[in-house]
């Protein structure tokens, strides 16, 4: 499966399936048959070359999920992890920092840790979630090795549409949200706010130090979306999304009592101007700002306390040229600036990235192609070129095969580069190559998707015990298969996702830690007039929690149940029972020191919640 870039580019030169040239409409976010993230523009899902999953707001309501991570756990190839309440995510066996996360087009991961705190995002403000699996660095640049997760916030619509939601449940959980959507033919808006509180539970399995208490969380959020059409050809808009609060956690590494907690703020702001300049040329300008702050307080050891915040300003210019019915060309430029500040002083606290990209797409009667290239120039870690190419072969009216090649890279974070005593300013970006074969089919209402892929990652950033700092010394190879089946069965809407992966360290041959080789997700839902019932089953195989594969985390299966009742056109009741069988399971563990001076100790699991219930009522009065 080895061939040169030049040969690949020559074979796929004509481009890929072209999307409809119509600009994004306001209601596109409610349509599951379209996808935006894969090609950085709206296009039918069956034309997108990347494997993808789409959840609309109606899906979120039907599944009664209460967080973005809970939704992502249903995606084939996506695994969720947790270390004392800090959520991590893995797409196709890659690390958290190797997956790009966007909110309304803005990067939201911390430039220091590389983690986007998806658990802080309020689900009531989510209109749509798209997960593109496979590298997209040729369009988005850094960090899109495993894929791209993009979250779109709620949109407005004509008229006035208030919504009030109240919920109460286990662990003294209380949720309140209020939103108002409205507008006319030209201007629409959505304004809302929420307050969620929970007393939490004790995640650790002992009662040492600060571990015997429950870990509460409080999250308040506000959001605003505004869109205005100046004419049929020109429109503009802005988005504001802000979450702030506090989250307690277990200080599992200390014997002295404490009250450790994080006070956080995660926000993103964006604005756009979109215009149809000619019959064939659409241009879009985007400006944005994202902010991530975490202030750690109350830990027994003072070195665990401190503030860290990163700010990112960005600008993007995307041009789409519909050259003819079969050929489309996308040209664009991106710029962003990262800044970091806080208690820890880094040797460098600012960096800029400039990028240019081009992608050609062709859609003929017998085949379709795509070829793209992006060049990133970062003032800290240098320049990087990323290619992608795909060939689509339709088979009849109901099937298609897609062969693709994509390159990706991950930018070293400020902590990787400059953390005092551990960072390495000479680090290079991690790089990857992915080869993939997909098959898609529709047969009498059954939608089937399957992917077979290999990802090779070089210059992985890891800790070197010899030099006592981060180094580009690791390599990984990930082989994987994933499949998804969606169908109506005897009135039930069924969706089954399966993923099999073999993630290996190419030097040692060991399985990469915290990656399960097998995952399965099944959702079943049915409507009986005003009543809805459903259930979800998630199964995850065992994982290793260390690079040497000496310690295992047990596999688990979790059953969730739900029901709903539309008692009136304006009033809906929802009841969910998570972990209905009250299974003990863990997404991660910690090392319990045997003494204050011993940092090896014994591995103990962080516990996830047992059986929990949540009752909610949503009121949507007609005005």
Residue 3: pLDDT band with limits 50, 70, 90: very low
Mean pLDDT of 26-50: 81
Q: Which two tokens stand for residue 536?
A: 């979800």
Which of 187-196, 422-431, 583-592 is least confident?
Answer: 583-592
Task: Give the mean pLDDT of the chain.
Answer: 89
pLDDT value at position 2?
39
Sign of CA dihedral 409, 415, 419, 422: negative
pLDDT value at position 249?
80
Tens-digit pLDDT profile for residues 52-83? 999 999 999 999 999 999 999 999 999 998 87
Buried b / exposed e over 155-165, threshold 16 CB at 10 Å, is bbbeeebbbeb
Which of 11-25, 81-95, 386-400 is least confident?
Answer: 11-25
pLDDT value at position 259?
77
Mean pLDDT of 490-505: 94
Mean pLDDT of 429-438: 96
- Computed over its alpha carbons, how large is the radius of gyration of the chain? 24
Find, among 154, 160, 204, 208, the residue nearest to 180 by Cα.
Answer: 160
Q: For the purposes of burial, counting CB atoms within 10 Å of the CB of 528, is it exposed (0-12), middle (13-18) or buried (19 or more)?
A: exposed
> Residue 19 pLDDT more than 50?
no
Mean pLDDT of 443-456: 94
Beta-sheet pairing, 552-553 with 588-592: unpaired
Mean pLDDT of 6-16: 36
- Matching residue, tokens 């066996």: 93
CATH 3.40.50.720 describes domain 5-619: no
Q: For the purposes of burial, counting CB atoms within 10 Å of the CB of 137, is it exposed (0-12), middle (13-18) or buried (19 or more)?
A: buried
User: E-strand spans in 51-124?
Assistant: 51-56, 78-83, 86-91, 99-103, 106-107
Extents of the domains making up the chain? 5-619
Q: Report percent pLDDT > 90 for the chain.
A: 71
Sign of CA dihedral 141, 518, 460, 591: positive
Start-to-end CA distance of the chain, whole Å, equals 61
User: 10 Å Cβ neighbour count for 595?
Assistant: 8
CA gap 514, 477 in Å, rounded = 15
CA gap 384, 375 in Å, rounded = 6
Residue 592: pLDDT band with limits 50, 70, 90: low
pLDDT value at position 599?
55
Q: Which two tokens stand for residue 61?
A: 């309501």
pLDDT value at position 24?
41
Q: Report percent pLDDT > 70 for the chain.
A: 89
pLDDT value at position 98?
95
Q: Is 294 in contact with 276 (CB distance < 8 Å)? A: no
C-alpha distances in Å from residue 128, one per residue of 102, 155, 539: 12, 10, 25
> Residue 110 pLDDT more than 70?
yes
C-alpha distances in Å from residue 378, one per residue of 114, 142, 423, 425: 16, 10, 18, 13
pLDDT value at position 255?
58
Which of 24-33, 179-188, 465-474, 533-542 is least confident?
Answer: 24-33
Q: What torsion, rounded to 10 degrees, do the Cα atoms 107, 111, 114, 119 define?
A: -60
Residue 6: pLDDT band with limits 50, 70, 90: very low
> Residue 270 pLDDT more than 70?
yes
CA gap 353, 336 in Å, rounded = 5
Residue 253: pLDDT band with limits 50, 70, 90: low
User: 10 Å Cβ neighbour count for 509?
Assistant: 9
Continuous segment of H or E residues that includes residue 10: helix 5-11
Q: Is 325 in contact with 333 (CB distance < 8 Å)? A: no
Q: Is 385 in contact with 377 (CB distance < 8 Å)? A: no
pLDDT value at position 211?
58
Tens-digit pLDDT profile for residues 559-580? 999 999 999 999 999 999 999 9
Kindly give, in sequence order, each residue whose CB lies less than 8 Å from that of residue 446, ignoring residues fewer than 6 positions away.
Answer: 485, 486, 487
Tens-digit pLDDT profile for residues 298-355? 776 666 788 999 999 999 999 999 999 999 999 999 999 999 999 988 999 999 999 9
Kindly give, in sequence order, each residue whose CB lies less than 8 Å from that of residue 284, ignoring residues fewer than 6 positions away.
Answer: 272, 273, 274, 275, 316, 317, 318, 319, 320
Q: Which two tokens stand for residue 304?
A: 């665990």
- Matching residue, tokens 């700092």: 469
CA gap 57, 64 in Å, rounded = 10
């Amino acid at each position: 499966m080895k061939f040169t870039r030049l040969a690949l580019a020559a074979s796929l030169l004509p481009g890929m399936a072209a999307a409809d040239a119509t600009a994004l409409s306001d209601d596109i976010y409610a349509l599951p048959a379209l996808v935006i993230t894969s090609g950085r523009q709206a296009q039918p899902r069956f034309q997108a070359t990347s494997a993808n999953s789409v959840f609309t707001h109606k899906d979120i309501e039907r599944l009664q999920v209460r967080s973005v991570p809970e939704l992502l756990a249903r995606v084939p190839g996506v695994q969720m992890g947790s270390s004392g309440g800090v959520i991590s995510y893995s797409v196709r066996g890659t690390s958290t920092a190797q997956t790009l996360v966007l909110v309304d087009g803005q990067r939201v991961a911390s430039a220091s840790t590389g983690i986007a705190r998806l658990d802080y995002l309020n689900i009531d403000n989510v209109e749509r979630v798209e997960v593109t699996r496979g590298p997209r660095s040729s369009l988005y640049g850094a960090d899109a090795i495993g894929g791209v997760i993009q979250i779109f916030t709620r949109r407005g619509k004509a008229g006035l549409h208030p919504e009030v939601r109240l919920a109460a449940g286990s662990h003294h959980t209380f949720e309140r949200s209020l939103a108002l959507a409205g507008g006319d033919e030209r201007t629409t808006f959505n304004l809302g706010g929420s307050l969620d509180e929970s007393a939490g539970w004790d995640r650790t399995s002992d009662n040492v130090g600060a571990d015997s208490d429950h870990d509460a969380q409080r999250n308040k959020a506000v959001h605003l979306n505004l869109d205005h059409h100046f004419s049929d050809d020109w429109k503009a808009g802005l988005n504001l999304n802000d979450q702030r609060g506090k989250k307690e956690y277990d200080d599992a590494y200390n014997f002295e009592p404490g009250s450790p907690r994080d006070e956080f703020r995660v926000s993103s702001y964006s604005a756009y101007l979109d215009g149809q300049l000619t019959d064939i040329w659409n241009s879009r300008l985007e400006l944005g700002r994202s902010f991530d702050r975490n202030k750690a307080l109350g830990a027994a050891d003072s070195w665990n306390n401190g503030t860290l915040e990163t700010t990112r300003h960005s600008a993007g210019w995307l041009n789409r040229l519909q050259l003819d019915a079969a050929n489309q060309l996308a040209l664009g430029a991106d710029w962003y600036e990262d800044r970091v500040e806080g208690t820890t002083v880094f040797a460098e606290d600012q960096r800029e990235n400039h990028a240019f990209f081009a992608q050609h797409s062709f859609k003929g009667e017998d085949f379709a192609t795509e070829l793209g290239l992006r060049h990133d120039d970062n003032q800290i870690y240098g320049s990087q070129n990323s290619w992608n190419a795909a060939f689509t072969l339709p088979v009849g009216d109901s099937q298609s095969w897609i062969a693709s090649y994509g390159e990706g890279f991950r930018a070293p974070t400020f902590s990787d580069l400059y953390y005092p005593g551990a960072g390495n300013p000479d680090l290079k970006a991690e790089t990857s190559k992915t080869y993939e074969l997909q098959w898609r089919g529709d047969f009498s209402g059954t939608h089937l998707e399957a992917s077979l892929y290999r990802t090779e990652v070089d210059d992985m950033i890891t800790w070197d015990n010899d030099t006592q700092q981060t180094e580009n010394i690791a390599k990984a190879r990930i082989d994987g298969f994933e499949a998804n089946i969606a169908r109506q069965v005897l009135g039930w809407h069924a969706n089954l996702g399966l993923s099999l992966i073999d993630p290996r360290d190419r030097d040692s041959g060991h399985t990469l830690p915290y990656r399960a080789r097998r995952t399965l997700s099944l959702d079943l839902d049915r409507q009986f007039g005003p009543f809805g019932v459903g259930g979800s089953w998630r199964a995850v195989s065992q994982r290793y929690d260390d690079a040497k594969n000496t310690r295992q985390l047990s596999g688990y299966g979790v059953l969730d149940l739900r029901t709903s009742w539309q008692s009136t056109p304006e009033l809906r009741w929802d009841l969910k029972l998570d972990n209905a069988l009250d299974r003990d399971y863990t997404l991660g563990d910690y090392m319990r020191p045997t003494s204050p001076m011993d940092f090896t100790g014994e591995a103990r699991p962080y516990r996830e919640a047992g059986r929990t219930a949540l009752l909610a009522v949503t009121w949507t009065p007609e005005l």
